[in-house]
Amino acid sequence: MEIELTGKVAEIVKAKVATEGYPNAAAFITDIVLRADEFDRLKLERLRQAVNIGLDEINRGQVVEFDIDDILNEELS
């Protein structure tokens, strides 16, 4: 795969390669893509954990019914 980087993005990549020990631009881009993928995976895992906590609370009856319109009206007044 070939990509062309221009402008500020190209400058950033060149600077990172020069100062952070990457052997070339491809290695830097590979590292960034893998980090982004890991970040997304971790974010999804945290979301799943939060949903599971909420579902467990619902199953234990730890819920409070509310009307979103009432809450919004309180915030706006």
Q: List, for residues 18-67, the tens digit of each pLDDT value.
A: 999 999 999 999 999 999 999 999 999 999 999 999 999 999 999 988 88
The pLDDT of residue 11 is 97
Each residue's pLDDT tens digit, 2-31: 999 999 999 999 999 999 999 999 999 999
* Residue whose pair of structure tokens reads 């954990």 in the numeric block: 49
The C-alpha atoms of residue 46 and residue 42 are separated, in whole angstroms, by 6
Spell out a b/e string for 62-71, using b for 16 or more CB atoms within 10 Å of the CB, else e: eeeeeeeeee
